[in-house]
Amino acid sequence: MTDTVTYERRDAVAILTLNRPPVNAIDGSIRAGLMAGVAQANADDAVKAILIVGAGKSFSAGADLRELSGEAEAPSYADAYGAVETSAKPVIAALSGASFGGGVELALACHYRVATPETKLTLPEITLGIVPGAGATQRLPRLVGAMQALQIMVDGAPVPAAKAKDIGMIDAIVEGSALDGGLAYANTLIADGAAARPTRDKAVDATGFDKDAIDAYLKTKAKALKGRTTQNAILQAVQAAADLPFDQGLTIEKTVSDASLKSVEGKGLIHAFFADGAVGRIPGLDLNVKPAPINKAAVVGAGTMGGGIAMALADAGVPVALIEAEQANLDRGLATIRKNYEVQVTRGRITAEQLEQRMALIAPSLDYAAASDVDVVIEAVFENMEVKKAVMKKLDAVLPPHAILASNTSSLSMTELAAATSRPQNVIGLHFFVPANVMRLLEIVRGKQTSDQTIVTGLAVAKLLRKIGVVVGDDFGFVGNRMMMDGFWREADLMMVEGVSPQRVDKGVEAFGFAMGPAAVNDMAGIDVGTKMRAAGKLVRAQPSTYHVLGDALTEAGRIGSKSGAGFFRYEPGDRTGHEDPKVAQIAADLAKAHNIEQREISDEEIGERSALSLINVGAQILDDGVASRASDIDVIWNNGYGYPRWRGGPMQHADQLGLPKVLDRIRFYEARYGDAWKPSPLLVKLAEEGKSFADYDAAK
């Protein structure tokens, strides 16, 4: 036996317990332990059945993901689960808690499966861009039919015990603990003289598993799986289960599963998973510091952002004072909040009662004194340093001494803002994204004087609001907006001046995998917002003369987006669809002439490449400047806040997948054409020349 699988006999039942805290992740030692346990039980005449359970709350969270990046230890899944399946004595899995991936696959290789009522079985591999590789694609179709199996693996969603029982994924739901219920079930099987029942020996029910039905189902997933291919690989394996003998099907599963691990989305999504987990490790932060409690909050400004932030707090059950300068704006803000909640009620996300409960948590006020007993206040007033400083000063005067002062600024210096208060150590940036009650990302901006406790509390706010908080440095636009302004959108603007229509720029960027193109996003958010932000940024950074000339010209012409009826696109009254507008082409042509820019044909590939490479280059610079602590933090920011195709892993992971020498080569190509805007970041040059990746850079830190 091994340390991670214990063996115990109770009467005629051998109990193998997966015991590898915290979640019984399956590694080589568990696989070896299972083989040894099954062998021992089969050699013991007193044993009539074998029960496999998980120690702790859950059966198993699945494969140890650390094995995914390197060579997996022996024995293989095929050998270990094959030994379980070919056991001469019946093997029963008793599932509990949240059981995932390789854990569920182990259960599928057992002869009988039972589960406690709260158990959820998930084959989530698709969310990591990979195909299950421990037999699920062959065994699940044999238990639940090919079509159902395909859906379970392509959805990647939890199957609750009751449903699992209905469809034949498990045999019974048991009372009490998995161990007690499993033992009772095993003893009943023994009493009934039940035999081993290998899943592999069953025939696959392929009823309804035809091209039309499969196409119709995959169509329902088209939006969620845009740009993805894992679903096709899963289909290939399930098709093999339907068409071929078990062992041949298993070989095909291995081929597609191994290939998925090396695919763009396999590498990308596994990277994104680990990157999300790494954000809480903050270099230089004192780990002993505890967050301050957050029992009450205030938000200043009831506009787009303030309203969304108040909703996010109310959703988390935190009472929040919503402070405005004028009654009319307060009324409008509250009405918008109510309307947004009403939409949630219509969609069945919350009940009418919850709507009222949440509204009741939001206390509107025109008086800053409403913040006199809060633990944290988040200001979301106009993006203007003087306005924000005045608000900070007023808050500083009424807040209790321990309270934290946060700003939702998109680009202004937190350090300068903090200096307007008597408590710069308590001042922090909490940069939310629209809509603030929905978007997962929170950039947590550390000013020069921000204390560790304030940062830790900022992270606690993120957790409370179920967001992913990434700590970033205090520089223009922080991480996300700077990469957007100085990289991605700068290039989009320039390409339009070079004669590419806003439609084509958006299409090219969407073809790369972004949810929305920059022209549409700008029109939605307001082109003037960017113009104002850049005006602030230009004070501190030199930019090429072509920097966002089109966006700024549109702002100047009053074409600030859908709210003004025209921006990069033209809008019909009452319709948010953007239409191509020859006026924009004319403005672009005039700008091209004025800036001596050649208008030319540009391919979709170039649109995608310039978008991706400009992000990478500015990202590398931000890393070098110390504004992001890790390349993977940059990826988290882009995946969660900017609609970057997560399956590519993020801009920096995309660079690693392309290979930094190639990235550098292409950036130099554009530098030769466009000059300094494309000057490669020194960090990128260094890593490329040393043959290293951004992942190597992160690992060395």
Q: Which is nearer to ligand NAD, 476 or 694 (CB)?
A: 476
Least distance (Å) from ligand NAD to the CB of residue 337? 12
Q: Can residue 380 be called a binding residue for ligand NAD (CB under 6 A)?
A: yes
**Under 8 Å between Cβ of 453 and 488:** no
Out of 1, 55, 387, 685, the residue judged to bind ligand NAD by CB under 6 A: 387
**Under 8 Å between Cβ of 57 and 97:** yes
**Under 8 Å between Cβ of 363 and 282:** no
Q: Which is nearer to ligand NAD, 68 or 529 (CB)?
A: 529
Q: Can residue 306 be called a binding residue for ligand NAD (CB under 6 A)?
A: yes
Q: What part of residues 266-305 is at the interface with ligand NAD (CB under 6 A)?
A: 300-305
Cα-based distances in Å from 77 to 28, 92, 100, 656: 9, 18, 15, 30
Q: Six-digit token pair at 258?
A: 């191994």
**Phi, psi (rounded to 5 degrees) for 485:** -70, -50
Cα-based distances in Å from 683 to 73, 677, 679, 687: 36, 16, 12, 6
Residue type, 342: E
Least distance (Å) from ligand NAD to the CB of residue 366? 8
Nearest to ligand NAD by Cβ — which residue?
303
Indicate if the alpha-carbon torsion angle 8, 14, 15, 16 is positive or negative.
positive
Least distance (Å) from ligand NAD to the CB of residue 648? 24
Going by C-alpha positions, the residue among 443, 522, 451 that lies closest to residue 476 is 443
Q: What part of residues 504-533 is at the interface with ligand NAD (CB under 6 A)?
A: 525
**Under 8 Å between Cβ of 401 and 425:** no
**Under 8 Å between Cβ of 197 and 90:** yes
Q: Which position among 125, 265, 443, 609 bears the catalytic label?
A: 125
Q: Which is nearer to ligand NAD, 96 or 450 (CB)?
A: 450
Per CB under 6 A, which region of 100-108, 191-199, 203-211, 320-328 contacts ligand NAD?
Answer: 320-328
Q: Can residue 622 be called a binding residue for ligand NAD (CB under 6 A)?
A: no
Q: Can residue 391 be called a binding residue for ligand NAD (CB under 6 A)?
A: yes
**Under 8 Å between Cβ of 580 and 613:** no
Residues in contact with ligand NAD, shown as a per-residue x/- string from 414 to 453 under the rule CB under 6 A: ------------------xxx-------------------
Q: Can residue 669 be called a binding residue for ligand NAD (CB under 6 A)?
A: no
d(C-alpha 694, C-alpha 657), whole Å: 10
Active site residue 125: yes
Angle between helices 136-144 and 230-243 (to 10 degrees): 60
Q: Which is nearer to ligand NAD, 58 or 408 (CB)?
A: 408
**Cβ neighbours of 701 (radius 10 Å):** 10
Number of helices (H), then strands (E), belonging to the chain: the values are: 31, 17
Q: Can residue 381 be called a binding residue for ligand NAD (CB under 6 A)?
A: yes
Active site residue 73: no
What does R_g of the chain's alpha carbons equal in angstroms?
29
Q: What part of residues 197-236 is at the interface with ligand NAD (CB under 6 A)?
A: none
Least distance (Å) from ligand NAD to the CB of residue 439? 9
Q: Can residue 153 be called a binding residue for ligand NAD (CB under 6 A)?
A: no
Least distance (Å) from ligand NAD to the CB of residue 227? 25
Per CB under 6 A, which region of 17-25, 323-331, 544-552, 580-588 contacts ligand NAD?
Answer: 323-331
d(C-alpha 206, C-alpha 550), whole Å: 57
Least distance (Å) from ligand NAD to the CB of residue 607? 24
Please give the size of the binding site for ligand NAD, defined by CB under 6 A: 25
Going by C-alpha positions, the residue among 381, 580, 612, 396 that lies closest to residue 500 is 580
Q: Can residue 408 be called a binding residue for ligand NAD (CB under 6 A)?
A: yes
Return the active site residues: 105, 125
- Would you tell me which residues interact with ligand NAD (CB under 6 A)? 300-306, 323-325, 329, 333, 380-383, 387, 391, 408-410, 432-434, 525
